[in-house]
Amino acid sequence: MDTRGNSERAPAYERILRLFADVQPREGATSLILIANIFLILVAFYLVKPVREGWLAVTDIGDLTKLEIKAYSAFAQSLLLLGILPLYARLAARLSRRDLIVRVGIVFGVLLVAFWLSQPNMLLGGYPFFGILFYLFVGIFSVTLVAQFWAFSTDVYGAARGERLFPLIAVGAALGAVVGSWLGRKLISLPSIEAFDLILIALLPLSASLALAIVTDRRGAYGDPSQWTTERWNEAAAPSGHGPFRLIFAHRYLTATALMIMVFTWVVTSGDNILFGIVQSTLAEELAPLANTPQAFDKALQEATASFYGNLYFWVNLVALILQAFVVSRILSAGGMQALLYTTPFISLAAYASMAFVPILGLIQVLKVAENSSTLSIQNTARQMLWLPTTKEMLYQAKPTVDTLFVRLGDGLAALTILVGTRVFHLGNLGFLIFNMCLVLVWISLSTYLHREHDQWKQAAANPPPRDFSPHS
């Protein structure tokens, strides 16, 4: 539909939104609400993320290094998700999409309060394992809420509108990450606010995001609920409940999607682990004069780590915002889904090759900004668009599993890489970087297969009669 003839009658905000995407008449309001929704979710996450890194920096477990603690904690998330995800799938088969979103959000809010009470020198504090538990929680918190949001958005929009509007909606995620990381740095610098207070402050954007989800559920794509929208108010989020694992492994498209997400997470997390180890060793050298006063050393290390990552996240998210607002839709228009799927792995390949030859902390930080910002913008948009031609059952059961469990399996494989590489093969940074480049080649191969499969599923979703998504289709 050509909307240019309606430009003069369209509200000003719709005309502005059309600078970034093909927003058709009456789609602007819901698009803005969804942008604000994912914006608030990412603000909440980036308020607590630096706290996670700082808490982990002062968590000592036996003779494990900080790098090993970080890597092995990520693997433990996979074990937790194996128990959590089937329960989430059962809830999706029983609850409406609105009730599902609200109840999951409330549970996360209660847990945030509990962890704030568990910080050192508070009511429940003083135990090292609370730092590990918080690390596990934040990882599950972030991927679950984000996966749930995109499943909900796909449900509201459908395939055709989603393909046009998802690059625009994702601008809210990029902006929320920038604002959240910037806000966290500013709040920590205030004398009246400590780092752990960010956990409680994160409750505000989290609560607001739940309210906006309720509004979106009521209004639908246009603000004038259709019969289809009203039926979804009381219908279960996933109308049938075959279970997430059966769905994923019954369809080659979903299996390949899960594997691609696992491999690219493996690549990016391994790079993050290398960076974390370098940062900790560098800061330890800088803070060596405090080594004789352990309490002062731990506090300084915690604050320095939180400050470094707060600064890193700010630049990653600022670049991601620029890419999302001005580059992603143009890549999609110029090269389609294939270009979106290929851009980030080729950036990663170039980044790790450069790191291998010039291993300087400043350069590594710049290259990780390039890789991670591309992951948060270009690759993230491609990931969400892969689900547009799928069913509601796949959206609310298979997608959360892929976006949580397989992400954490990628983290776990990165941890296994650290374990085997350091303890068995005694690899240095160069060895890990070469291994990462090999993984990127696997990532590119899976992206090639997914591009072909996505075209077939997209055509089947757009042209009746609907495709028979039987096992191995």
The predicted structure's pLDDT at residue 465: 47
Q: What is the mean pLDDT of residues 107-117?
A: 93
Residue 100 above 60 pLDDT? yes
Is the pLDDT at 108 greater than 80? The verdict is yes
Domain membership flag for residue 4:
no
Instruction: Please determine, for residue 461, whether its predicted confidence score (pLDDT) is greater than 80.
Output: no
Please tell me the predicted confidence (pLDDT) of residue 3. 42
Least confident of 121-130, 248-257, 299-308, 396-405: 121-130
Q: Please indicate, yes or no, if residue 420 is contained in any of the structural domains.
A: yes
Predicted pLDDT at 65: 67
- Please tell me the predicted confidence (pLDDT) of residue 473: 38
Task: Give the pLDDT of residue 263.
Answer: 97
- The average pLDDT across 383-388 equals 94
Q: What is the pLDDT of residue 229?
A: 76
Which band of pLDDT confidence, cut at 50, 70 and 90, is reported for residue 418?
confident
What pLDDT score does 124 carry? 64
Domain containing 27: what range? Answer: 22-462
Query: What is the token pair recorded at 321?
Result: 């915002």
Q: What is the widest separation between alpha-carbon atoms in the chain?
A: 73
Q: Has residue 424 been placed in a domain?
A: yes
pLDDT recorded at residue 471: 42
Per-residue pLDDT reduced to its tens digit, 326-335: 899 889 988 8
Is residue 90 scored above 80 in pLDDT? Answer: yes
- pTM for this predicted structure: 0.80
Is 176 part of any domain?
yes
Q: Which amino acid is at 432?
A: F
Q: Is the pLDDT of residue 110 over 80?
A: yes
Alpha carbon distance 181, 189 (integer Å): 13
Return the exposure string of 139-171: e unless at least 16 CB atoms fall within 10 Å of the residue's CB, then b.
bbbbbbbbbbbbbbbbbbbebebbbbbbbbbbb
Distance between CA atoms of residues 405 and 421, nearest Å: 23
DSSP string over 264-306: HHHHHHHHHHHHHHHHHHHHHHHTGGGTTSHHHHHHHHHHHHH
User: What percentage of the chain exceeds 90 in pLDDT?
Assistant: 37
- Res. 4: pLDDT tops 60: no
- Digit-coded pLDDT (tens) for 15-72: 888 888 788 888 899 999 999 999 999 999 989 988 887 777 666 666 676 666 766 7
The per-residue pLDDT for 225 is 76
- Per-residue model confidence (pLDDT) at position 235: 87
Length of the chain counted residue by residue? 473
Spell out the alpha helix ranges (H) of 22-128. Answer: 28-57, 66-94, 97-117
- Helix H segments across 190-251? 197-201, 203-219, 227-234, 244-250
Residue 319 lies in a domain: yes
pLDDT above 80 (res 77): no
Q: Is the pLDDT reported for residue 176 higher than 70?
A: yes
Between 178 and 278, the more confident residue is 178
pLDDT tier, 85 (very low <50, low <70, confident <90, very high otherwise) = confident
Predicted pLDDT of residue 459 = 83
Joined together, the tokens standing for residue 102 give 């609200």
Answer for the pair 328, 337: CB distance below 8 angstroms, yes or no. no
Residues 6+ apart with CB under 8 A from 135: 52, 55, 56, 70, 73
Instruction: Give just the sign of the alpha carbon dihedral 230, 231, 234, 238.
Output: negative
SS3 of residue 315 by DSSP: helix
The tally of domains found in the chain comes to 1
Q: Say how far apart CA 86 and CA 248 lie, in whole Å.
A: 13
Q: Domain containing 142 — which CATH number?
A: 1.20.1250.20
Computed over every residue of the chain, the mean pLDDT equals 85
The pLDDT assigned to 59 comes to: 66
What value does the mean pLDDT take over residues 436-462?
91
Query: Is 2 part of a structural domain of the chain?
Result: no
> Region 313-318: what's the mean pLDDT?
82
pLDDT at residue 470, as a whole number: 44
Residue-wise pLDDT for 281-300, tens only, equals: 778 888 888 878 888 888 88
Q: Would you say residue 84 has pLDDT above 90? A: no
The reply to whether 106 falls in a domain is: yes
Residue 6 lies in a domain: no
Residue 188's pLDDT is what?
Answer: 84
Which is it for the CA torsion 164, 169, 173, 174, positive or negative?
positive
- Predicted pLDDT at 256: 97
pLDDT tops 60 at residue 210: yes
In this predicted model, which residue has the larger pLDDT, 205 or 456? 205
The per-residue b/e assignment along 269-290, b for 16 or more CB within 10 angstroms, e otherwise, is bbbbbbbbbbbbeebeeeeeeb
Mean pLDDT of 411-424: 85
Residue 230 tokens read as: 């009203």
- Average pLDDT in the 435-464 region? 89
Residue that wins the pLDDT comparison between 448 and 419: 448
